[in-house]
Amino acid sequence: MQTASATTAAPALKAEARDFNFFYGDVQALKKINMPIHDKKVTALIGPSGCGKSTYLRSFNRMHDLYPGNRYEGEIRFYPDNTNLLSPDVDPIEVRMRVGMVFQKPNPFPKSIFENVAYGLRVRGEKNRRALDDKVEAALKGAAIWDEVKDRLQDLATNLSGGQQQRLCIARALATDPELLLFDEPTSALDPIATGAIEELVHELKQRVTILIVTHNMQQAARVSDYTAYMYLGEMIEFGKTDDIFIKPQDKRTEDYITGRMG
């Protein structure tokens, strides 16, 4: 029901999970998930640890393909071309070219700042030095870290502070102009000030890219997201506009979690 009302409020969809099941070997980690992802909006996934929110997030760029024994069932439709991201016919590399990801722990490559941001461009075969320079600069500006690193682009990225590393990872993901950006608890390893910077960045980024963010910090979900989904034990319990979910949750379990009685 909530799904239907949300869809009418914001018609443009970027992606949509349809009867999506996921298995780690024989263990079913996600159960019949149906959920829209609205274009150029921030959608937050909340829920207690182990509820499957990260598993769900990592399905959008087929990260599970890296490990043996994982299995998808159902569909994640990707718009505007209406591709099923999970189809075996769809090359996971093509998916990852369109869906960027920022991880829980900043994971810059042990390379220079410049090479980190240029990485995705080089993967795509970009060799023109001017184009690389321009795109790296634009991405670093987009991730609000340009002013801090513009004079030391050749320094090792791993020497940056944790918050800077995470913004660098966002720049790295932005450099290739993804259509959907996945954030897997991007601030859980950061201090409050760095967290604030990332949240502000997420808010700005939704002008140009659709964002799906996993967080176990409900204040964060309330601050940054337009839509929120509450997951529990591999199921999508409730999805709706963030204000609705936090002010008048329909499901008892959502209410318990949000009010701190559970989780």
Partner 1 sequence: MNSCAMTAPPAPDAPVVSNRLAKNAMRHASERVIEALLFAAAAVSVLTTVGIVYVLVSESIQFFQSVGLVEFLTDTQWTPLFDDAHFGIMVLISGTLVSSAVALAVAIPMGTVIAIYLSEFANPKVRELAKPILELLGGIPTIVFGYFALLIVTPLLQKIFPELPGFSLLSAGLVMGIMIVPYVASLSEDAMRAVPMSLREGSYAMGGTRLHTALHVVVPAAFSGLAASYILGISRAVGETMILAVAAGMQPNLTWNPMEPAATITSYIVQVALGDLPHGSIGYQTIFAAGLTLLLITLLFNILGQWLRRKFRENY
- Catalog residues that contact partner 1 under the rule CB under 8 A: 61, 63, 66, 68, 93-94, 96-97, 100-101, 103, 105, 107-111, 119-120, 122-124, 156, 158, 169, 172-173, 176
245 with 215: CB under 8 angstroms? no
Residue 27: how many CA atoms within 13 Å on its side-chain side? 7
State which residue, 99 or 222, has the beta carbon closest to partner 1. Answer: 99
State which residue, 173 or 237, has the beta carbon closest to partner 1. Answer: 173
State which residue, 70 or 176, has the beta carbon closest to partner 1. Answer: 176
Shortest gap between Cβ of 123 and partner 1 (angstroms)? 5
State which residue, 90 or 156, has the beta carbon closest to partner 1. Answer: 156
Shortest gap between Cβ of 258 and partner 1 (angstroms)? 30
R_g (Cα) of the chain, nearest Å: 18
Token pair recorded at residue 242: 């963030």
Cα dihedral value 72, 78, 81, 85, nearest 10: -20
Name residue 65's amino acid.
D
**CA dist list (Å): 49 to 15, 85, 194, 255:** 24, 26, 23, 17
Shortest gap between Cβ of 18 and partner 1 (angstroms)? 24
State which residue, 102 or 258, has the beta carbon closest to partner 1. Answer: 102
Shortest gap between Cβ of 186 and partner 1 (angstroms)? 13
166 with 187: CB under 8 angstroms? yes
Shortest gap between Cβ of 115 and partner 1 (angstroms)? 9
State which residue, 53 or 253, has the beta carbon closest to partner 1. Answer: 53
Shortest gap between Cβ of 133 and partner 1 (angstroms)? 19
Residues of 139-169 as b/e, b for ≥16 C-beta within 10 angstroms?
A: bbebbbbbebbeeebeeebeebeebbbbbbb
State which residue, 92 or 263, has the beta carbon closest to partner 1. Answer: 92
Shortest gap between Cβ of 172 and partner 1 (angstroms)? 7
